[in-house]
């Protein structure tokens, strides 16, 4: 049974459209474009499920705490026990701070293209999201990917799935719950007023970015009320996410 059904997600999507003025028609066109680009070359969904199912998953957001959180988890020696899932720009931190490769990247292609392609070429599964504003990037980047999977926030298409979620960070949590993670720990998910350096380099509007983060946090708190997957938060400088147990990196050790 799915954690998020189509009816519940539609209510959230309607709220997103109303809040941000997005075009459902353009979002659907992006899903169609992505489906076409993935034809004959997509990673089977079963491979994504095998990567995450029954595993402890660490999801890395691109918030201001990310680098601090990663370094502390490296110091206590727990990173290797998790399946690492990077939300878009957090891929850069995994590559250059941890000197490793995330197992999964959840991205709408706002992050550094070179780093996203590097992670893909090194074996990361790339859950690429299509929406009305990134169709040119889909057409530019997706043909270069080796391990792509498509996601959307509207009606699914062949090889393009709707797991729920809005921003890259919360969408990664929705994806991991849908893929039956044993437990999920989030780091670098501040959801505050400050934009992290691993987030999109130059957001068009800081106020819109903050509204997006607020929507993402609301979605995670809603998901926490519905899923049986244990949820934890090690983000060092956040006030926490309702439904996620706040713990320290050292306290993740017994979870592994």
Give residue 228's pLDDT band: very low, low, confident or very high (50, 70, 90): very high
- Domains of the chain are 6-255 (3.90.1480)
The structure tokens listed for 11 are 């209510």
If one counts every other C-beta atom within 10 angstroms of the C-beta of residue 135, the result is: 17
CA 136 to chain centre: 20
Task: Please give the structure tokens belonging to residue 57.
Answer: 């998953």
pLDDT attached to residue 125 = 98
Question: For the chain, what percent of residues have pLDDT higher than 90?
Answer: 88
Contacts 24+ apart (CB under 8 A), 214-220: 215/15, 215/16, 215/19, 215/166, 215/167, 216/165, 216/166, 216/167, 216/169, 216/170, 216/191, 217/170, 217/191, 217/241, 219/12, 219/164, 219/165, 219/166, 219/170, 219/174, 220/170, 220/173, 220/244
Task: Kindly tell me the sign of the dihedral angle through the C-alpha atoms of 65, 70, 72, 78.
Answer: positive
Q: What are phi and psi of 9, to 5 degrees?
A: -65, -40
Gyration radius from the chain CA atoms: 17
Q: What's residue 237's pLDDT?
A: 87
Span 114-134, average pLDDT = 98
Q: Phi then psi for 223, rounded to 5 degrees? A: -60, -40
DSSP state of 157: B
Cα 243 to chain centroid distance, Å, stands at 18
Q: Say whether pLDDT at 18 is over 60.
A: yes
Dump pLDDT digits (tens) for 126-178.
999 999 999 999 999 999 999 999 999 999 999 999 999 999 999 999 999 99
pLDDT at 210: 87
């Amino acid at each position: 049974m799915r954690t998020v059904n189509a009816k519940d997600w539609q209510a959230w999507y309607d709220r997103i459209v109303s809040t941000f003025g997005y075009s459902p028609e353009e979002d659907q066109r992006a899903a169609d474009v992505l489906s076409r680009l993935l034809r004959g070359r997509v990673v089977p969904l079963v491979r994504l499920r095998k990567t995450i199912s029954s595993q402890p998953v660490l999801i890395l957001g691109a918030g201001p705490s990310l680098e601090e959180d990663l370094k502390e988890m490296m110091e206590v020696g727990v990173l290797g026990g998790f399946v690492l899932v990077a939300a878009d720009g957090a891929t850069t931190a995994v590559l250059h701070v941890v000197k490793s490769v995330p197992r999964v990247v959840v991205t709408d292609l706002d992050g550094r293209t070179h780093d996203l392609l590097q992670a893909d070429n090194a074996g990361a599964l790339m859950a690429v999201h299509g929406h009305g504003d990134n169709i040119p990037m889909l057409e530019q980047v997706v043909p270069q990917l080796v391990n792509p999977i498509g996601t959307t926030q509207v009606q699914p298409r062949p090889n393009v799935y709707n797991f729920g979620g809005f921003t890259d960070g919360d969408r990664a949590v929705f994806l991991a719950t849908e893929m039956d993670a044993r437990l999920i720990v989030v780091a670098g998910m501040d959801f505050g007023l400050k934009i992290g350096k691993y987030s999109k380099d130059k957001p068009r509007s800081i106020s819109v970015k903050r509204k997006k983060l607020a929507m993402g946090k609301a979605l995670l708190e809603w998901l926490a009320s519905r899923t049986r997957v244990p949820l934890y938060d090690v983000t060092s400088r956040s006030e926490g996410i309702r439904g996620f147990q706040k713990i320290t990196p050292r306290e993740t050790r017994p979870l592994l």
